[in-house]
Structure 1
Protein backbone atom coordinates (compact mmCIF):
# COMPACT_ATOMS: atom_id res chain seq x y z
CA UNK A 1 0.00 0.00 0.00
CA UNK A 2 2.71 2.52 0.86
CA UNK A 3 3.97 3.07 -2.72
CA UNK A 4 0.39 3.60 -3.89
CA UNK A 5 -0.29 6.07 -1.07
CA UNK A 6 2.96 7.92 -1.79
CA UNK A 7 2.07 8.26 -5.46
CA UNK A 8 -1.42 9.40 -4.44
CA UNK A 9 -0.19 12.16 -2.10
CA UNK A 10 2.09 13.69 -4.73
CA UNK A 11 -0.58 13.22 -7.41
CA UNK A 12 -3.21 15.08 -5.41
CA UNK A 13 -0.82 17.86 -4.35
CA UNK A 14 0.60 18.69 -7.78
CA UNK A 15 -2.72 18.07 -9.51
CA UNK A 16 -4.69 20.36 -7.22
CA UNK A 17 -2.16 23.20 -7.56
CA UNK A 18 -1.92 22.71 -11.31
CA UNK A 19 -5.66 22.76 -11.86
CA UNK A 20 -5.95 26.04 -9.97
CA UNK A 21 -3.12 27.57 -12.00
CA UNK A 22 -4.77 26.26 -15.19
CA UNK A 23 -7.23 29.16 -15.14
CA UNK A 24 -4.58 31.90 -15.08
CA UNK A 25 -3.27 31.34 -18.65
CA UNK A 26 -6.73 30.21 -19.78
CA UNK A 27 -8.47 33.42 -18.76
CA UNK A 28 -5.53 35.85 -18.97
CA UNK A 29 -4.04 37.67 -21.94
CA UNK A 30 -2.53 35.25 -24.41
CA UNK A 31 1.20 35.58 -25.07
CA UNK A 32 1.84 37.79 -22.04
CA UNK A 33 4.68 37.04 -19.59
CA UNK A 34 2.07 35.90 -17.06
CA UNK A 35 0.54 33.55 -19.61
CA UNK A 36 3.89 32.01 -20.47
CA UNK A 37 5.05 31.76 -16.84
CA UNK A 38 1.96 30.10 -15.41
CA UNK A 39 1.36 28.08 -18.56
CA UNK A 40 4.78 26.47 -18.26
CA UNK A 41 4.31 25.92 -14.53
CA UNK A 42 0.96 24.25 -15.21
CA UNK A 43 2.55 22.03 -17.85
CA UNK A 44 5.32 20.88 -15.51
CA UNK A 45 2.88 20.16 -12.70
CA UNK A 46 0.71 18.13 -15.05
CA UNK A 47 3.71 16.06 -16.12
CA UNK A 48 4.41 15.21 -12.47
CA UNK A 49 0.73 14.54 -11.80
CA UNK A 50 0.43 12.21 -14.76
CA UNK A 51 3.66 10.42 -13.84
CA UNK A 52 2.26 9.77 -10.35
CA UNK A 53 -0.93 8.45 -11.96
CA UNK A 54 1.19 5.96 -13.91
CA UNK A 55 2.66 4.83 -10.58
CA UNK A 56 -0.81 4.50 -9.05
CA UNK A 57 -2.10 2.54 -12.04
CA UNK A 58 0.93 0.24 -11.99
CA UNK A 59 0.60 -0.54 -8.28
CA UNK A 60 -3.12 -1.12 -8.79
CA UNK A 61 -2.41 -3.70 -11.49
CA UNK A 62 0.13 -5.36 -9.19
CA UNK A 63 -2.15 -5.43 -6.12
CA UNK A 64 -5.71 -4.37 -7.04
CA UNK A 65 -7.42 -5.66 -3.89
CA UNK A 66 -4.90 -4.12 -1.48
CA UNK A 67 -4.87 -0.69 -3.12
CA UNK A 68 -8.65 -0.32 -3.37
CA UNK A 69 -10.26 -1.75 -0.22
CA UNK A 70 -13.37 0.43 -0.56
CA UNK A 71 -14.20 -1.12 -3.92
CA UNK A 72 -13.58 -4.57 -2.45
CA UNK A 73 -16.05 -3.72 0.33
CA UNK A 74 -18.59 -2.84 -2.37
CA UNK A 75 -18.07 -6.26 -3.94
CA UNK A 76 -16.35 -4.96 -7.06
CA UNK A 77 -14.77 -7.87 -8.95
CA UNK A 78 -11.00 -7.76 -9.26
CA UNK A 79 -11.24 -7.43 -13.05
CA UNK A 80 -13.28 -4.24 -12.72
CA UNK A 81 -10.86 -2.68 -10.24
CA UNK A 82 -7.99 -3.50 -12.57
CA UNK A 83 -9.89 -2.10 -15.55
CA UNK A 84 -10.98 1.22 -14.06
CA UNK A 85 -8.15 2.06 -11.66
CA UNK A 86 -5.42 0.24 -13.53
CA UNK A 87 -5.79 0.23 -17.30
CA UNK A 88 -8.03 3.29 -17.61
CA UNK A 89 -5.98 5.43 -15.23
CA UNK A 90 -2.81 4.37 -17.02
CA UNK A 91 -4.32 5.40 -20.36
CA UNK A 92 -5.52 8.77 -19.03
CA UNK A 93 -2.06 9.47 -17.59
CA UNK A 94 -0.39 8.73 -20.93
CA UNK A 95 -2.99 10.87 -22.71
CA UNK A 96 -2.31 13.77 -20.34
CA UNK A 97 1.45 13.59 -20.96
CA UNK A 98 0.85 13.48 -24.71
CA UNK A 99 -1.48 16.49 -24.64
CA UNK A 100 0.80 18.61 -22.47
CA UNK A 101 3.85 17.78 -24.56
CA UNK A 102 2.05 18.50 -27.83
CA UNK A 103 0.81 21.81 -26.46
CA UNK A 104 4.33 22.87 -25.51
CA UNK A 105 6.21 21.76 -28.62
CA UNK A 106 3.70 23.20 -31.10
CA UNK A 107 4.53 26.68 -29.81
CA UNK A 108 8.22 25.94 -29.34
CA UNK A 109 8.58 24.63 -32.90
CA UNK A 110 6.35 27.09 -34.73
CA UNK A 111 9.33 28.40 -36.71
CA UNK A 112 10.85 24.94 -37.19
CA UNK A 113 7.96 22.67 -38.07
CA UNK A 114 10.16 19.72 -39.03
CA UNK A 115 11.32 19.54 -35.39
CA UNK A 116 7.84 18.23 -34.57
CA UNK A 117 8.77 15.04 -36.46
CA UNK A 118 11.34 14.05 -33.88
CA UNK A 119 11.02 10.29 -33.31
CA UNK A 120 10.16 10.77 -29.63
CA UNK A 121 7.29 13.11 -30.44
CA UNK A 122 5.90 10.78 -33.08
CA UNK A 123 6.34 7.74 -30.84
CA UNK A 124 4.43 9.42 -28.00
CA UNK A 125 1.40 9.94 -30.22
CA UNK A 126 1.54 6.37 -31.55
CA UNK A 127 1.87 5.05 -28.00
CA UNK A 128 -1.16 7.11 -26.92
CA UNK A 129 -3.25 5.51 -29.66
CA UNK A 130 -2.01 2.08 -28.54
CA UNK A 131 -2.87 2.84 -24.89
CA UNK A 132 -6.35 3.98 -25.93
CA UNK A 133 -6.94 0.75 -27.85
CA UNK A 134 -5.75 -1.32 -24.88
CA UNK A 135 -8.13 0.62 -22.63
CA UNK A 136 -11.00 -0.05 -25.06
CA UNK A 137 -10.14 -3.75 -25.22
CA UNK A 138 -9.95 -4.06 -21.45
CA UNK A 139 -13.26 -2.21 -21.21
CA UNK A 140 -14.80 -4.65 -23.68
CA UNK A 141 -13.58 -7.60 -21.61
CA UNK A 142 -15.44 -6.36 -18.51
CA UNK A 143 -18.34 -4.79 -20.42
CA UNK A 144 -17.47 -1.26 -19.25
CA UNK A 145 -18.76 1.24 -21.81
CA UNK A 146 -17.05 4.21 -20.15
CA UNK A 147 -13.61 2.77 -20.87
CA UNK A 148 -14.50 2.11 -24.48
CA UNK A 149 -16.06 5.55 -24.95
CA UNK A 150 -13.11 7.49 -23.51
CA UNK A 151 -10.64 5.54 -25.62
CA UNK A 152 -12.02 7.43 -28.63
CA UNK A 153 -10.47 10.64 -27.27
CA UNK A 154 -6.97 9.16 -27.25
CA UNK A 155 -7.26 7.71 -30.74
CA UNK A 156 -8.61 11.00 -32.10
CA UNK A 157 -5.94 13.03 -30.30
CA UNK A 158 -3.10 10.86 -31.55
CA UNK A 159 -4.34 10.81 -35.14
CA UNK A 160 -5.00 14.56 -35.34
CA UNK A 161 -1.61 15.32 -33.79
CA UNK A 162 0.12 13.09 -36.34
CA UNK A 163 -1.85 14.75 -39.13
CA UNK A 164 -0.56 18.14 -37.97
CA UNK A 165 2.99 16.84 -37.54
CA UNK A 166 3.13 15.46 -41.08
CA UNK A 167 1.41 18.42 -42.74
CA UNK A 168 4.15 19.98 -44.87
CA UNK A 169 3.28 23.65 -44.37
CA UNK A 170 0.65 24.31 -41.66
CA UNK A 171 -1.02 27.70 -41.63
CA UNK A 172 0.43 30.22 -39.19
CA UNK A 173 -2.58 29.98 -36.89
CA UNK A 174 -2.40 26.16 -36.87
CA UNK A 175 0.25 26.24 -34.14
CA UNK A 176 -1.94 28.36 -31.87
CA UNK A 177 -4.99 26.19 -32.56
CA UNK A 178 -3.04 23.03 -31.75
CA UNK A 179 -1.62 24.63 -28.60
CA UNK A 180 -5.08 25.56 -27.30
CA UNK A 181 -6.54 22.16 -28.17
CA UNK A 182 -3.75 20.25 -26.44
CA UNK A 183 -3.26 22.32 -23.28
CA UNK A 184 -6.97 22.73 -22.55
CA UNK A 185 -7.37 19.06 -23.43
CA UNK A 186 -4.84 18.14 -20.76
CA UNK A 187 -6.86 20.20 -18.29
CA UNK A 188 -9.99 18.27 -19.30
CA UNK A 189 -8.16 14.97 -18.81
CA UNK A 190 -6.91 15.81 -15.32
CA UNK A 191 -10.15 17.47 -14.17
CA UNK A 192 -12.00 14.37 -15.37
CA UNK A 193 -9.69 12.09 -13.39
CA UNK A 194 -9.95 14.27 -10.29
CA UNK A 195 -13.74 14.43 -10.40
CA UNK A 196 -14.16 10.74 -11.18
CA UNK A 197 -11.37 8.96 -9.32
CA UNK A 198 -11.29 11.57 -6.56
CA UNK A 199 -15.02 11.13 -6.04
CA UNK A 200 -14.31 7.48 -5.22
CA UNK A 201 -13.08 8.43 -1.77
CA UNK A 202 -16.19 10.47 -1.01
CA UNK A 203 -18.77 8.17 -2.54
CA UNK A 204 -17.28 4.96 -3.97
CA UNK A 205 -20.58 3.81 -5.41
CA UNK A 206 -20.73 6.88 -7.68
CA UNK A 207 -17.23 6.50 -9.10
CA UNK A 208 -18.50 5.75 -12.60
CA UNK A 209 -21.40 8.19 -12.71
CA UNK A 210 -21.31 9.54 -16.32
CA UNK A 211 -22.18 13.02 -15.07
CA UNK A 212 -18.92 13.22 -13.13
CA UNK A 213 -17.03 12.42 -16.32
CA UNK A 214 -19.09 14.68 -18.58
CA UNK A 215 -18.79 17.98 -16.70
CA UNK A 216 -15.06 18.63 -17.39
CA UNK A 217 -15.47 17.46 -20.99
CA UNK A 218 -18.31 19.89 -21.72
CA UNK A 219 -16.63 22.86 -19.98
CA UNK A 220 -13.32 22.11 -21.70
CA UNK A 221 -14.86 21.85 -25.15
CA UNK A 222 -16.56 25.22 -24.66
CA UNK A 223 -13.20 26.77 -23.71
CA UNK A 224 -11.46 25.22 -26.73
CA UNK A 225 -14.16 26.35 -29.16
CA UNK A 226 -14.19 29.87 -27.70
CA UNK A 227 -10.42 30.40 -27.84
CA UNK A 228 -10.03 28.82 -31.27
CA UNK A 229 -12.82 31.09 -32.57
CA UNK A 230 -10.99 34.14 -31.14
CA UNK A 231 -7.75 33.05 -32.82
CA UNK A 232 -9.48 32.63 -36.19
CA UNK A 233 -11.27 35.98 -35.96
CA UNK A 234 -8.05 37.79 -35.00
CA UNK A 235 -6.21 36.11 -37.87
CA UNK A 236 -8.89 37.12 -40.38
CA UNK A 237 -8.85 40.72 -39.17
CA UNK A 238 -5.07 40.82 -39.45
CA UNK A 239 -5.26 39.57 -43.04
CA UNK A 240 -7.91 42.15 -43.90
CA UNK A 241 -5.81 44.96 -42.43
CA UNK A 242 -2.72 43.73 -44.31
CA UNK A 243 -4.69 43.53 -47.57
CA UNK A 244 -6.05 47.05 -47.07
CA UNK A 245 -2.57 48.42 -46.37
CA UNK A 246 -1.20 46.86 -49.55
CA UNK A 247 -4.10 48.25 -51.57
Structure 2
Protein backbone atom coordinates (compact mmCIF):
# COMPACT_ATOMS: atom_id res chain seq x y z
CA UNK A 1 0.00 0.00 0.00
CA UNK A 2 2.88 2.36 0.76
CA UNK A 3 4.29 1.74 -2.71
CA UNK A 4 0.90 2.41 -4.31
CA UNK A 5 0.63 5.67 -2.35
CA UNK A 6 4.09 6.81 -3.44
CA UNK A 7 3.37 5.98 -7.08
CA UNK A 8 0.04 7.82 -6.90
CA UNK A 9 1.78 10.79 -5.28
CA UNK A 10 4.29 10.88 -8.15
CA UNK A 11 1.49 10.87 -10.74
CA UNK A 12 -0.42 13.50 -8.76
CA UNK A 13 2.58 15.82 -8.48
CA UNK A 14 3.55 15.36 -12.15
CA UNK A 15 0.06 16.13 -13.46
CA UNK A 16 -0.26 19.08 -11.09
CA UNK A 17 3.06 20.65 -12.08
CA UNK A 18 2.33 20.24 -15.79
CA UNK A 19 -1.10 21.78 -15.25
CA UNK A 20 0.35 24.76 -13.39
CA UNK A 21 2.80 25.31 -16.23
CA UNK A 22 -0.16 25.61 -18.62
CA UNK A 23 -2.59 27.53 -16.37
CA UNK A 24 -1.64 31.05 -17.37
CA UNK A 25 -1.32 30.45 -21.12
CA UNK A 26 -5.07 30.29 -21.91
CA UNK A 27 -5.53 33.40 -19.76
CA UNK A 28 -2.90 35.36 -21.68
CA UNK A 29 -3.54 34.26 -25.28
CA UNK A 30 -6.46 35.48 -27.38
CA UNK A 31 -9.74 34.01 -26.13
CA UNK A 32 -11.32 31.58 -28.55
CA UNK A 33 -8.08 31.07 -30.49
CA UNK A 34 -6.76 27.62 -31.35
CA UNK A 35 -4.06 27.90 -28.69
CA UNK A 36 -6.59 29.00 -26.08
CA UNK A 37 -8.86 26.04 -26.80
CA UNK A 38 -6.12 23.43 -27.19
CA UNK A 39 -3.98 24.40 -24.21
CA UNK A 40 -7.07 25.05 -22.09
CA UNK A 41 -8.27 21.52 -22.85
CA UNK A 42 -4.85 20.09 -21.90
CA UNK A 43 -4.91 22.08 -18.66
CA UNK A 44 -8.38 20.87 -17.65
CA UNK A 45 -7.48 17.25 -18.45
CA UNK A 46 -4.39 17.55 -16.27
CA UNK A 47 -6.44 19.08 -13.45
CA UNK A 48 -8.90 16.18 -13.67
CA UNK A 49 -5.99 13.73 -13.45
CA UNK A 50 -4.56 15.67 -10.50
CA UNK A 51 -7.93 15.61 -8.74
CA UNK A 52 -8.51 11.90 -9.28
CA UNK A 53 -5.05 10.92 -8.06
CA UNK A 54 -5.51 13.29 -5.10
CA UNK A 55 -8.79 11.58 -4.29
CA UNK A 56 -7.10 8.17 -4.34
CA UNK A 57 -4.41 9.49 -2.00
CA UNK A 58 -7.05 10.91 0.37
CA UNK A 59 -8.87 7.56 0.45
CA UNK A 60 -5.67 5.75 1.37
CA UNK A 61 -4.84 8.37 4.04
CA UNK A 62 -8.30 7.96 5.58
CA UNK A 63 -8.73 4.18 5.46
CA UNK A 64 -5.12 2.95 5.86
CA UNK A 65 -3.35 5.89 7.54
CA UNK A 66 -0.51 3.83 8.99
CA UNK A 67 0.34 2.39 5.58
CA UNK A 68 0.60 5.91 4.16
CA UNK A 69 2.55 7.26 7.16
CA UNK A 70 4.34 4.24 8.72
CA UNK A 71 5.10 4.95 12.40
CA UNK A 72 8.66 4.77 13.75
CA UNK A 73 9.41 1.59 15.69
CA UNK A 74 9.88 3.40 19.02
CA UNK A 75 6.36 4.88 19.23
CA UNK A 76 3.93 3.78 21.92
CA UNK A 77 0.45 2.47 20.98
CA UNK A 78 -1.04 5.79 22.07
CA UNK A 79 1.36 7.73 19.83
CA UNK A 80 0.63 5.43 16.92
CA UNK A 81 -3.09 6.02 17.42
CA UNK A 82 -2.50 9.79 17.46
CA UNK A 83 -0.45 9.56 14.26
CA UNK A 84 -3.24 7.64 12.53
CA UNK A 85 -5.86 10.15 13.68
CA UNK A 86 -3.72 13.06 12.49
CA UNK A 87 -3.27 11.45 9.05
CA UNK A 88 -7.02 10.85 8.77
CA UNK A 89 -7.72 14.47 9.66
CA UNK A 90 -5.32 15.69 6.96
CA UNK A 91 -7.21 13.44 4.55
CA UNK A 92 -10.26 15.69 5.02
CA UNK A 93 -8.33 18.59 3.53
CA UNK A 94 -7.12 16.39 0.67
CA UNK A 95 -10.70 15.29 -0.01
CA UNK A 96 -11.81 18.91 -0.36
CA UNK A 97 -8.93 19.84 -2.69
CA UNK A 98 -9.54 16.73 -4.79
CA UNK A 99 -13.28 17.36 -5.17
CA UNK A 100 -12.58 21.04 -5.86
CA UNK A 101 -10.28 20.08 -8.73
CA UNK A 102 -12.59 17.39 -10.12
CA UNK A 103 -15.78 19.46 -9.87
CA UNK A 104 -14.14 22.58 -11.31
CA UNK A 105 -12.41 20.83 -14.22
CA UNK A 106 -15.59 18.92 -15.07
CA UNK A 107 -17.81 22.02 -14.92
CA UNK A 108 -15.38 24.18 -16.92
CA UNK A 109 -15.58 21.63 -19.73
CA UNK A 110 -19.33 20.95 -19.52
CA UNK A 111 -20.23 24.65 -19.44
CA UNK A 112 -18.70 25.09 -22.91
CA UNK A 113 -20.47 22.00 -24.26
CA UNK A 114 -23.88 22.68 -22.75
CA UNK A 115 -23.92 26.49 -23.09
CA UNK A 116 -27.46 27.66 -22.24
CA UNK A 117 -28.96 24.13 -22.44
CA UNK A 118 -28.28 22.79 -18.94
CA UNK A 119 -29.89 19.36 -19.27
CA UNK A 120 -26.38 17.91 -19.54
CA UNK A 121 -25.39 19.53 -16.24
CA UNK A 122 -28.49 18.13 -14.51
CA UNK A 123 -27.59 14.50 -15.16
CA UNK A 124 -26.91 12.67 -11.87
CA UNK A 125 -23.38 11.67 -12.89
CA UNK A 126 -22.48 15.35 -13.36
CA UNK A 127 -23.94 16.33 -9.98
CA UNK A 128 -21.83 13.88 -7.98
CA UNK A 129 -18.64 15.99 -7.86
CA UNK A 130 -20.21 19.30 -6.72
CA UNK A 131 -22.36 17.43 -4.19
CA UNK A 132 -19.32 15.67 -2.72
CA UNK A 133 -17.50 19.01 -2.69
CA UNK A 134 -20.26 20.50 -0.54
CA UNK A 135 -20.26 17.47 1.79
CA UNK A 136 -16.48 17.55 2.20
CA UNK A 137 -16.64 21.31 2.85
CA UNK A 138 -19.21 20.83 5.63
CA UNK A 139 -17.06 18.11 7.21
CA UNK A 140 -13.93 20.28 6.96
CA UNK A 141 -15.83 23.19 8.53
CA UNK A 142 -16.81 20.93 11.44
CA UNK A 143 -13.17 19.95 11.93
CA UNK A 144 -12.12 23.58 11.64
CA UNK A 145 -14.55 24.69 14.32
CA UNK A 146 -13.50 21.83 16.61
CA UNK A 147 -9.79 22.64 16.22
CA UNK A 148 -10.11 26.43 15.72
CA UNK A 149 -8.31 25.97 12.37
CA UNK A 150 -8.40 29.11 10.21
CA UNK A 151 -7.04 27.11 7.27
CA UNK A 152 -9.85 24.55 7.39
CA UNK A 153 -12.53 27.21 7.82
CA UNK A 154 -11.28 29.29 4.87
CA UNK A 155 -11.21 26.31 2.51
CA UNK A 156 -14.50 24.98 3.81
CA UNK A 157 -16.04 28.34 2.93
CA UNK A 158 -14.43 28.26 -0.52
CA UNK A 159 -15.66 24.71 -1.13
CA UNK A 160 -19.20 25.64 -0.09
CA UNK A 161 -19.10 28.74 -2.29
CA UNK A 162 -18.01 26.84 -5.40
CA UNK A 163 -19.99 23.62 -4.78
CA UNK A 164 -23.32 25.26 -3.99
CA UNK A 165 -22.74 27.71 -6.82
CA UNK A 166 -22.36 24.86 -9.30
CA UNK A 167 -25.48 23.12 -8.05
CA UNK A 168 -27.50 26.35 -8.16
CA UNK A 169 -26.28 27.12 -11.67
CA UNK A 170 -27.44 23.71 -12.90
CA UNK A 171 -31.02 24.18 -11.65
CA UNK A 172 -31.78 27.89 -11.32
CA UNK A 173 -34.80 28.97 -13.39
CA UNK A 174 -33.05 31.17 -15.95
CA UNK A 175 -29.60 32.21 -17.09
CA UNK A 176 -28.35 35.62 -17.99
CA UNK A 177 -27.22 36.05 -21.57
CA UNK A 178 -23.84 34.38 -22.02
CA UNK A 179 -23.68 33.19 -18.42
CA UNK A 180 -22.35 29.81 -19.54
CA UNK A 181 -19.09 31.58 -20.41
CA UNK A 182 -18.91 33.03 -16.92
CA UNK A 183 -19.48 29.56 -15.44
CA UNK A 184 -16.56 28.30 -17.52
CA UNK A 185 -14.31 31.07 -16.22
CA UNK A 186 -15.38 30.62 -12.59
CA UNK A 187 -14.77 26.87 -12.73
CA UNK A 188 -11.37 27.24 -14.39
CA UNK A 189 -10.28 29.69 -11.69
CA UNK A 190 -11.60 27.31 -9.04
CA UNK A 191 -9.31 24.57 -10.31
CA UNK A 192 -6.44 27.05 -10.34
CA UNK A 193 -7.02 27.88 -6.67
CA UNK A 194 -6.72 24.23 -5.65
CA UNK A 195 -3.67 23.63 -7.86
CA UNK A 196 -1.77 26.70 -6.65
CA UNK A 197 -2.58 25.91 -3.01
CA UNK A 198 -1.22 22.39 -3.37
CA UNK A 199 1.92 23.71 -5.07
CA UNK A 200 2.72 26.37 -2.47
CA UNK A 201 2.02 24.11 0.50
CA UNK A 202 3.37 20.76 -0.66
CA UNK A 203 5.48 21.29 -3.76
CA UNK A 204 7.36 24.29 -2.36
CA UNK A 205 7.15 23.42 1.34
CA UNK A 206 10.86 23.87 2.03
CA UNK A 207 10.90 27.29 0.36
CA UNK A 208 7.77 28.37 2.25
CA UNK A 209 9.38 27.34 5.56
CA UNK A 210 12.34 29.58 4.77
CA UNK A 211 10.11 32.56 3.93
CA UNK A 212 7.42 32.25 6.62
CA UNK A 213 7.33 31.28 10.28
CA UNK A 214 4.77 31.08 13.09
CA UNK A 215 1.26 32.11 12.12
CA UNK A 216 2.62 33.46 8.83
CA UNK A 217 3.01 29.84 7.70
CA UNK A 218 -0.74 29.92 7.04
CA UNK A 219 -0.26 32.57 4.37
CA UNK A 220 0.76 30.29 1.45
CA UNK A 221 -2.15 27.98 2.35
CA UNK A 222 -4.77 30.69 2.46
CA UNK A 223 -3.56 33.26 -0.07
CA UNK A 224 -4.53 31.36 -3.27
CA UNK A 225 -8.01 30.74 -1.89
CA UNK A 226 -8.53 34.34 -0.80
CA UNK A 227 -7.13 35.84 -4.01
CA UNK A 228 -8.89 33.30 -6.23
CA UNK A 229 -12.20 33.58 -4.41
CA UNK A 230 -12.05 37.37 -4.64
CA UNK A 231 -11.19 37.17 -8.34
CA UNK A 232 -14.17 34.87 -8.97
CA UNK A 233 -16.53 37.27 -7.16
CA UNK A 234 -15.16 40.34 -8.98
CA UNK A 235 -15.23 38.65 -12.39
CA UNK A 236 -18.78 37.49 -11.78
CA UNK A 237 -19.95 41.04 -11.12
CA UNK A 238 -17.91 42.44 -14.02
CA UNK A 239 -19.27 39.96 -16.56
CA UNK A 240 -22.81 40.41 -15.29
CA UNK A 241 -22.54 44.12 -15.98
CA UNK A 242 -21.03 43.50 -19.41
CA UNK A 243 -23.57 40.87 -20.39
CA UNK A 244 -26.48 43.02 -19.27
CA UNK A 245 -29.70 41.94 -17.71
CA UNK A 246 -31.05 39.98 -20.68
CA UNK A 247 -32.21 36.47 -19.88
CA UNK A 248 -32.04 33.26 -21.87
CA UNK A 249 -34.09 30.13 -21.54
CA UNK A 250 -32.55 26.83 -20.56
Could you state the TM-score of these two structures normalised by the residue count of structure 1? 0.81
Q: Distance in 1 between matches of 2:167 and 2:86?
A: 32
Shift of 1:134: 1.8
Shift of 1:151: 0.9
Alignment match, 2:101: 96
Q: Please tell me whether residue 83 in structure 1 is matched to residue 77 in structure 2.
A: no
Alignment match, 1:10: 11
1:175 pairs with one of 158, 175, 180: 180
Alignment match, 1:211: 219
Unmatched segments (≥5 aa) in structure 2: none
Q: Distance in 1 between matches of 2:62 and 2:184?
A: 33
Unmatched segments (≥5 aa) in structure 1: 240-247
Shift of 1:127: 1.9
Shift of 1:37: 0.5
**CA-based RMSD:** 3.2
Shift of 1:90: 1.4
Shift of 1:81: 2.9
Shift of 1:33: 1.2
1:74-153 alignment runs, 5 A limit: 77-78=82-83, 79-84=85-90, 86-153=91-158
List 4+ stretches of structure 1 deviating above 6 A.
204-208
CA contact (8 A) 2:96 2:136 kept: yes
For this pair of structures, how many residues does the alignment match? 235
Question: Alpha carbons of 1:222 and 1:151: their partners in 2 closer, same or farther (altered >3 Å)?
Answer: closer
CA contact (8 A) 2:176 2:243 kept: no
Could you state the TM-score of these two structures normalised by the residue count of structure 2? 0.80
